Amino acid sequence: MIKRRIADLEVNAIGLGCMSLSHGYGSAPPRAQAEALLLGALDLGVDFFDTAALYGFGANETLVGEVLAPYRDRFVLASKCGLHGVDGKRVIDGRPQTLKWSCEQSLKRLRTDCIDLFYLHRWDKQVPVEDSVGALADLVREGKVRHIGLSEVSAATLRRAHAVHPIAAVQTEYSLWTRNPEIAVLDACRELGTSFVAFSPVARAFLTGALRDVGVLEDKDIRRNMPRFAPETYAQNLALLPAYEALATEAGCTPAQLALAWLLAKAEHIIPIPGTTRLDHLRENMGALTLKLPADVLVRAGELINQRTVVGNRYPAGAQVEVDTETF
């Protein structure tokens, strides 16, 4: 498999985002299915698992800990702090004491004594990022965390944080239909030796071609509140798929594999972490690692689906103000 690095850690170039096993896209799968997915991921060579305190308000970390703790020496474990549930509501809190408390809770749920990569899930703009990163640096010195990451930050914020403690990875949405990292963060990561972890690399199922009707989404599916998935807007975006799917067929791969291969080819410091609840989809995603697609296919994919052809913002206004990423 293709290998990539996060600081001194080597991982396969496609990891697993675990959120959908507990959070975000409607009803969580049955426990047995979630366990089979996690164990199947190990068997398929996944050695980078990503979770967070927010997902299921601790339930996802608990699941990952209970299922994968016996195999802890076989994978790199990432989790996140600074965004968690309080009395049933999501709260951003980047105060040093809160981050340290959150780490203790995550360690217990994950059944480990050290988290390999611990992200600040959201920069709390009421707290200087230097103070939040300073708290995470304390956790590194205490041996509870190996490396520090940031999520959904701008290049300027990354540089401020990196001046306090080396930032091993930045995690942000990146795919054919979300190009914001290309404005500045990808280059800043390359300059600083920071890995870039791409979440939602198949555009929350859009680039799989499987989601044709947003009316099937459950009421609590987060996509129902995302502008790109509003029925009229999504209908416009669906018009992009036939040509894209034809290109994937021409290349001898699935639409999801083409999306992942495009990301892997963009830069060697990019690590996509697609999420799924199904083993067949996981096998399909990992199959992107063995693809050798002509450069012109990747160029054509990028010309078909990009920030100029996609309609709608990726977040609603309330969520957009919580992130620090550059926008077009």
Rounded alpha-carbon distances, angstroms, from residue 63 to 20, 176, 177, 233, 298: 12, 31, 31, 35, 37
The pTM of this model reads 0.97
- Number of structural domains the chain divides into: 1
1 pLDDT higher than 80: no
Residue 306 lies in a domain: no
B/e letters for 59-91, b = 16+ CB within 10 Å, e = fewer, are bbbbbbbebbeeeeeebbbbbbbbbbbeeeeee
Catalytic residues: 55
Residue 276 lies in a domain: yes
Residue 193 lies in a domain: yes
pLDDT (mean) for 179-187: 98
Residue 187 lies in a domain: yes
Domain of 14 in residue numbering reads as: 3-205+257-291
pLDDT one-digit tens code per residue, 286-327: 999 999 999 999 999 999 999 999 999 999 999 999 999 999
Residue 221 lies in a domain: no
